[in-house]
Amino acid sequence: MYPTKTPHQFTVVPSLPAELSALKRIAYNLWWCWEPDAIRLFQRLDSELWRQSRHNPVELLGTLQQASLDSLKADEGLLSHLSQVEIKLKEYLSGPTWFEKAGAPGMRIAYFSMEFGIHESLPLYSGGLGILAGDHLKSASDLGLPLCGVGLLYRQGYFRQYLNREGWQQEFYPENDFYNLPLHQERDQAGQPVSVSVEIAGRPVKARVWRVQVGRVPLYLLDTNLEDNLPEDRDITLRLYGGDQDMRIRQEIVLAIGGIRALQALDLEPNICHMNEGHAAFLTLERIRQLMEKDQLRFHEAVEAVRGGNIFTTHTPVQAGIDHFPQELLERYLGSYYRGLGLTRESFMALGIPHQGRAGGSFCMAILAMKLAGHTNGVSQLHGEVSRKMWADVWPDLPEEQLPLSSITNGVHDRSWLSDEMADLLIRYLGTRWIEDPTSPALWRRISRIPDEELWRTHRRGRVELVEYARDRLREQLRREESSARELIEAGEVLDPEILTIGFARRFATYKRGTLLLHDKERLTAILNHPQRPVQIVFAGKAHPADHQGKELIRQIVQLSREERFRRRIVFLEDYDMSVARHLVQGVDLWLNTPLRPQEASGTSGMKVAFNGGLNASILDGWWCEGYRGNNGWSIGHGEVYDDLEYQNEVESRAIYDLLEKEIVPLFYERAVDGVPRGWTARMKASMQTLCPEFSTSRMVREYTERCYTPAFQHWEQLNRDGKKLAVELARWKERLHGKWGDLRIESIETAVHREVAAGDRVPINVKLVTGEIPITEIAVEVYFGVLDSRGSIMGGEIVPLSLLPAGKEEEPVRQFGGELECRFCGRHGFMLRVMPRHPTLGTVYDPGLVLWG
Ligand SMILES: *Cc1c(COP(=O)(O)O)cnc(C)c1O
């Protein structure tokens, strides 16, 4: 134990008069952050403190002076507002839910993520991955899913950004004051704080377990900042994505292995574990280890018991975005752990490299997750396709379309991103049903009933607020820099609340091409400063502290925004967070998205914009390939990919200028006599009608439930019933088959395919097979059959099972199988024969090495 001089500690909690005690209950459930009435309640307590606390109600309640509490408790209007909000919260928590009707009893889902973006006052996120995780929890709560989140409680979270005079990003790391956050310390029955221990590099590291309540859903957060730990171990939960690979692997061990142990300590053993990105992939090993210990299973038996209950979502096709660890690092941190699982170094390392991968290659967390999950998905259709190509060698003997890797397109939690004004407008014309179920297209068609002027006026309010907000932020920035009075006055003149406003905000990763729009400065100047039809752009975003190139992009934009010709038309807002994001997505007319296809796996900001009536102009990448319908926004190019990046940038930046000059700007400024741009509002309506029903996390979480959680749970139950009988039996059966599979031989394949077959014809096929010692009932003989693509591989093929024919004159062990291929489509067809194991209960089973192709 290292010596410390620890001061005696005590905690001061807000002491609220009884009349106001409900405020605390509301403040400690993040449900408030998507309930406008609750937000207004906190705001009315003290709007200045509310702003200063970064919209943190726990801190706000703690800083209210006794005098103001006394006057507040005598304010009848406030008390009635408070009681309304409390009733709403109670109703929310106890009301009937979608899952009660749609879900399976007994299911318990744990959702693991390195970051969670729930609200700006709880800074445990960096960007899209975290926001998605936060929105996932919120919708899981709305739908009543039996789900909990698992993450890390960072003492400093992700960095905050400010820009120096030259426009370089500077980072600072304010401490999160846990006692001013909506945290509950989890305690056991004896009242002692719950903690877990994991072994890291040979020594135990303790982590405490906290809970944040997100509506109905608990989010458990682990924190290693305990006196019992060595200083370097206390810092494991210091920062999100800070530190080197050593730090990263230690964080991932705490998140995954510690996370599973925390759930166990809380008596909440999940049957479904959902890994949001590969950071938590070690959880697969811990689930296996626990079963081995508890039920005396061997490694492979435990694998069969848990794999079906693991789900993995991959979020990027960019290799640099995926964790790869050198094998020495794994050896150092997990050496004794894997030996405890009965694995050799070789068999352990093989879990993190492709089947034909180099034995010494780096260990990939995404591969570990895929090998030990029953189902993997990408986050848009295009990303699914790209991922199947990217990861094909994880399943070496399956055709691309048959990999257990599908896609579920991302969404956003609409209520968290909608402006109050737009939400009110929707309630007036659509009723309130969309709040519970935003997935019905028929409901959103009622958008057509909103008068154009009203929709336009509502959207304008958002723009006006964005402009005011941007001016305030800019002034604050300048005050900090001790700028001159003139500069402060100028800050009040940037942007114009009445002109076409473009938003561009995201992580400044180079593939997102933040400066594509600045490619041709002369042309840009002419567009922005057009005398009758001016345009302005609001930028925001952070670059990872180690990403010099990203920082350079930010600097270029900031420099440009200081040139006289752009000073009033381009603004870069510091410190992009959920609050800045809300102002942006609620206020912009156009959201610009310029990733290098196909590197934007999904993208979600454009969805937030769509709910607020803004329009999208985007490269056809990620979600926009599914969202774009011709009349509901714009596509930049047609999804072309060129080999020459310079050329691609050139072509696509020109396409943006063309679009702006010829279509977007004229449409925005073509006004009817009442000042409303009818062509533009028609697009706004088309955009909301087509995009809102599809791109919410309500739709997304339903899809996860129906396509992943429920089947995974059924599969898991089947294998774990009766003391995991089937799982054990399956593992042993596979082992036996591996021993005999080499005996299998295809003698002959006969078909009556002449060169041409008419569409609709059935082609008989007959196969002779030597099965050796494998019982005939334990194999599935199938034809993989379909239309060929230009490279001669089968596309979108179907599986045609062949059946055993009565024994002919051949002697055993030659057996005959037959069937018919139905040629429904014209074109060049191909077929391949394959033999797979067939299990008496589970049917055709895939296992690497147990597929024979002919
Ligand atoms: C929505 C959001 C993101 C994610 O944006 P993408 O478009 O998915 O890249 C990142 N940061 C913040 C603060 C957000 O609100």
Atom in ligand 1 nearest the alpha carbon of residue 417 = 15
Mean pLDDT score, 96-118: 95
Integer Cα distance of 335 and 10 in angstroms:
40
Instruction: Output the CA 578–ligand 1 centroid distance in Å.
Output: 8
Mean pLDDT score, 701-721: 97
The pLDDT assigned to 111 comes to 98
Q: Which of 159, 506, 512 to mutate to test the pocket of ligand 1 (most atoms within 8 A of CB)?
A: 506
Instruction: Output the CA 688–ligand 1 centroid distance in Å.
Output: 19
CATH no. of 98-407: 3.40.50.2000
Cα 42 to the chain's mean position, in Å?
30
- Closest-CA residue, ligand 1 atom 6, reads 603
Residue with the larger pLDDT of the pair 318 and 420 = 420
Percent of the chain with pLDDT over 70: 97
Atom in ligand 1 nearest the alpha carbon of residue 412 = 1
pLDDT of residue 13 exceeding 80: no
Atom in ligand 1 nearest the alpha carbon of residue 512 = 9
Integer Cα distance of 379 and 381 in angstroms:
7
Mean pLDDT score, 235-243: 95
Integer Cα distance of 357 and 582 in angstroms:
44
Q: Confirm whether 98-407 and 416-695 share one CATH topology.
A: yes
The pLDDT assigned to 386 comes to 96
- Closest-CA residue, ligand 1 atom 11, reads 127
Atom in ligand 1 nearest the alpha carbon of residue 602 = 8
Integer Cα distance of 85 and 38 in angstroms:
6
Instruction: Output the CA 319–ligand 1 centroid distance in Å.
Output: 20
Residue type, 108: R
CATH top class, domain 744-853: mainly beta
Instruction: Output the CA 160–ligand 1 centroid distance in Å.
Output: 15
Which residue, among 516, 515, 527, has the nearest Cα to 565 in the 3D structure? 527
Percent of the chain with pLDDT over 90: 83
DSSP readout, 95-131? S--HHHHHSPTT--EEEE-S-B-S-TTS-B--SHHHH
Instruction: Output the CA 37–ligand 1 centroid distance in Å.
Output: 25
What tokens were used for 153? Answer: 């409680």
Residue 2: pLDDT band by 50, 70, 90 thresholds? very low
Mean pLDDT score, 192-211: 96
Mean pLDDT score, 796-809: 84
Integer Cα distance of 692 and 608 in angstroms:
9
The pLDDT assigned to 789 comes to 85
Which residue, among 255, 285, 249, has the nearest Cα to 362 in the 3D structure? 249
Instruction: Output the CA 132–ligand 1 centroid distance in Å.
Output: 8
What tokens were used for 4? Answer: 């410390």
Q: Which of 504, 539, 573, 605 to mutate to test the pocket of ligand 1 (most atoms within 8 A of CB)?
A: 605
Cα dist. 610→298, 501, 613 in Å? 51, 15, 5
For the chain, the average pLDDT equals: 94
Instruction: Output the CA 614–ligand 1 centroid distance in Å.
Output: 16
Bond prior to 123 in cis (omega within 30° of 0)? no
User: Do the Cβ atoms of 407 and 380 come closer than 8 Å?
Assistant: yes
The pLDDT assigned to 755 comes to 66
User: What number of CA atoms fall less than 13 Å from residue 476's CA on the CB side?
Assistant: 12
Instruction: Output the CA 507–ligand 1 centroid distance in Å.
Output: 8
The pLDDT assigned to 464 comes to 98
The pLDDT assigned to 810 comes to 58
What value does the CA radius of gyration of the chain take, rounded to a whole number of Å? 29
pLDDT of residue 1 exceeding 70: no
The pLDDT assigned to 3 comes to 45
pLDDT in tens, 736-756: 999 999 999 999 999 877 667
Look at 185-199, 317-331, 728-742, 799-813 and tell me which has the smallest mean pLDDT: 799-813
pLDDT in tens, 496-530: 999 999 999 998 888 889 889 999 999 999 999 99
pLDDT of residue 199 exceeding 80: yes
Domain ranges of the chain: 18-94, 98-407, 416-695, 744-853
pLDDT of residue 11 exceeding 90: no
Atom in ligand 1 nearest the alpha carbon of residue 128 = 4
Atom in ligand 1 nearest the alpha carbon of residue 580 = 13
Residue with the larger pLDDT of the pair 829 and 181 = 181
The pLDDT assigned to 87 comes to 98
pLDDT of residue 35 exceeding 80: yes
Residue with the larger pLDDT of the pair 439 and 794 = 439
pLDDT of residue 611 exceeding 50: yes
pLDDT of residue 812 exceeding 80: no
pLDDT of residue 404 exceeding 90: yes
H-helix or E-strand spanning residue 770: strand 762-770
Bond prior to 182 in cis (omega within 30° of 0)? no
pLDDT of residue 8 exceeding 90: no
Considering the entire predicted model, what is its pTM?
A: 0.96
Give the full edge-to-edge strand order of the sheet including 745-751. 745-751, 762-770, 814-822, 803-804
Residues in contact with 581: Cβ distance below 8 Å, sequence separation at least 6, in sequence order: 131, 505, 540, 605, 608
The pLDDT assigned to 10 comes to 57
Look at 402-411, 471-480, 493-502 and tell me which has the smallest mean pLDDT: 471-480
Atom in ligand 1 nearest the alpha carbon of residue 126 = 11
Instruction: Output the CA 624–ligand 1 centroid distance in Å.
Output: 15
Residues with CB under 6 A from ligand 1: 127-128, 131, 506, 576-578, 581, 603-605, 608
**Paired sense of beta strands 405-407 and 500-505, if any:** unpaired
Superfamily name and number for 416-695: Glycogen Phosphorylase B; (3.40.50.2000)
Atom in ligand 1 nearest the alpha carbon of residue 585 = 15
pLDDT in tens, 533-562: 999 999 999 999 999 999 999 999 999 999
pLDDT of residue 4 exceeding 60: no
The pLDDT assigned to 319 comes to 83
- Closest-CA residue, ligand 1 atom 2, reads 128
Instruction: Output the CA 117–ligand 1 centroid distance in Å.
Output: 10
Mean pLDDT score, 698-714: 97
The pLDDT assigned to 162 comes to 94
For residues 78-114, one letter each, b for 16 or more C-beta atoms within 10 angstroms of the residue's C-beta and e for the rest, the string is: beebbeebbebbeebeeeebbbeeebeeebbbbbbbb
Mean pLDDT score, 420-449: 97
Look at 141-145, 611-615, 713-717, 785-789 and tell me which has the smallest mean pLDDT: 785-789
Residue 344: pLDDT band by 50, 70, 90 thresholds? very high
Instruction: Output the CA 506–ligand 1 centroid distance in Å.
Output: 6
